[in-house]
Amino acid sequence: MLNMAEGLARLRALAEAPVVSEVAAAFQAADFELAVVGGPVRDALLGRETNDLDFTTNASPDEILRIVTPISTAQWDIGRAFGTIGARVKGEQVEITTYRADSYDGVTRKPTVEFGDTIDGDLARRDFRVNAMALQVASPESGREIKLIDPTGGVEDLVAGILRTPTDPTVSFGDDPLRMLRAARFSAQLGFDIDPATHDAVAQLRETLKIVSPERVQGELVRLMQTDDPVRGIRVLVETGLVDEFLPEISALRLEVDEHHHHKDVYEHSLTVLQQAIELEHSRHPGEAPDVALRIAALLHDIGKPRTRKLEPGGAVTFHHHDVVGSRMARKRLQALRFDGETTDAVAKLIELHLRFFGYAEGAWTDAAVRRYVRDAGDLLERLHILTRADVTTRNRRKAARLASAYDDIETRISALAEQEELDAMRPELDGNQIQEILGIGPGREVGEAYRFLLDIRLDEGIIGPDAAEQRLRDWWAARG
């Protein structure tokens, strides 16, 4: 519940923060208006941590640059075309933007920009009422007196926990279709409901997201996955059909029944896995930044099931090889959304490996099998631990306890083997140069084959010592003729 007295006190503290005071004084001296705008104002009222500082002003981009240069250690104008100048003031990054009104022409993927004259007009063009508030910190008329500017009723929406657009939602989303994705993200981030008219407008205009570049869509998806409750936002995307415009594999999961969890369809199972992965992420790595790749892998780990679904005699349903198929599907989708290679590779690999553990739970693995598990996971091993544990959503307590115990066991064995054998290195005991020297051969295909032969010994038998490895290599070479 929003406490206005406490909220106003936090707004005053925001206005008196050193960096805000420094920037405000500079604009006041130059006879321009200046206000902190959007997220910082919203978060101060809600008692949430305030991060990036965004300002808006009636000064032009050239005038902004002239004003901030003397008080900043760095400036950048990469957003000048959109009226934005960035600067580093007192060690903090700030962005200052000229009052504006922008929109899409419905064809191209880039917004057109028009600069405005009033702060009320600037706020009316913003995505949601809760983000359309400003804290005036400099005004030629009233000096440094602070003032909350809320022309669209943002405070009322904060109190109600509702997301609504400042204007008709069909007009707002028509101006910038990416705002539909932001509705899902802010719903997850703030725990707010979406106003029915706004919700309906997303469903009605979802196809207009096509004019937005994949990079911008990806950016919003990442921000959604970084929230503490992305499941809430994903439900919005699926309910409105918006997800079908950029990640249709998610809604397709609702049509399938998971063969291990008959009480849930694969869609609900996947959301539960995502939720549990986040809980494990927090418990095992408290204070660390959200692991976006892990969370996307948890969400997408079963997307291969619709494509591999098969009805067996007797009414059973199978999804053979859905791990491999899903890995390929995820890679293709993330590439289309312009994800970086590291994230794409990590997600695809985690999906490919997410079923490996269940073979362990069905029967004890040999040390060789454990080594191969570690080798195949590589630097994704910890993420694979979390994903695999999160993938257990059965309501059968006995089964859940058995799986948890089995994974406790495999982690213990991995730790023991790592301590004994430097498992992380996972290399043969002879390197390529030694292989060439022992066999009297030069670089080529045979060296690679010999290396793989020794690696198999390392995985199957552990460390046997360099002398034994050399003898085994000589015997293998001799057997080849």
Q: How far apart are CA 459 and CA 230, in angstroms?
A: 39
| pLDDT range class, residue 440, cuts 50, 70, 90 | confident
Pairing of strands 100-103, 92-98: unpaired
Beta partners for 138?
34
195: helix, coil or strand? coil
CB 160 within 8 A of CB 174: no
CA 92 to chain centre: 24
Question: Which residue, among 241, 167, 181, has the nearest Cα to 213 in the 3D structure?
Answer: 181
Q: Is the pLDDT of residue 408 over 90?
A: no
Give the strand pairing for 193-194 and 310-311.
unpaired
Helices (H), 285-355: 292-300, 305-308, 322-336, 341-353
Q: Which pLDDT score, from 0 to 100, does residue 262 have?
A: 46
Tell me: the pLDDT tens digits for 11-42? 999 999 999 999 999 999 999 999 999 999 99
Helix (H) or strand (E) holding 253: none
Beta-bridge partners for 85: 96
Residue 103 has pLDDT above 60, yes or no: no
Residue 407, Cα to own-chain centre: how many angstroms? 26
Question: What are the two backbone dihedrals, phi and then psi, of residue 16, each rounded to the nearest 5 degrees?
Answer: -90, 0
Give dist(CA 60, CA 123) in Å, integer. 17
* C-alpha torsion sign, points 144, 37, 175, 239: negative
409-439 pLDDT per residue, tens: 888 888 877 766 555 556 787 888 888 888 8
- Structure confidence at residue 426 (pLDDT): 63
- Kindly state the helix (H) or strand (E) to which residue 113 belongs, with its residue range: strand 112-115
Predicted pLDDT at 89: 94
Cβ neighbours, 10 Å, residue 311:
9
Handedness of CA 52, 53, 55, 60 (dihedral sign): negative
* pLDDT above 90: residue 445: no
Lowest pLDDT segment from 275-289, 330-344, 453-467: 453-467
Q: Which residues pair with 89 in a beta bridge?
A: 92
Query: Each residue of 331-371: pLDDT tens digit?
Result: 999 999 999 999 999 999 999 999 888 766 566 677 778 88
Residues 152, 124: contact at Cβ < 8 Å?
A: yes
Express each pLDDT in 145-204 by its tens digit. Answer: 889 999 999 999 999 999 999 999 999 999 899 999 999 999 999 999 999 999 999 999
The DSSP code for 143 is B
pLDDT grade for 400, boundaries at 50, 70 and 90: confident
At 320 the pLDDT is 80
More reliable by pLDDT, 358 or 302: 302
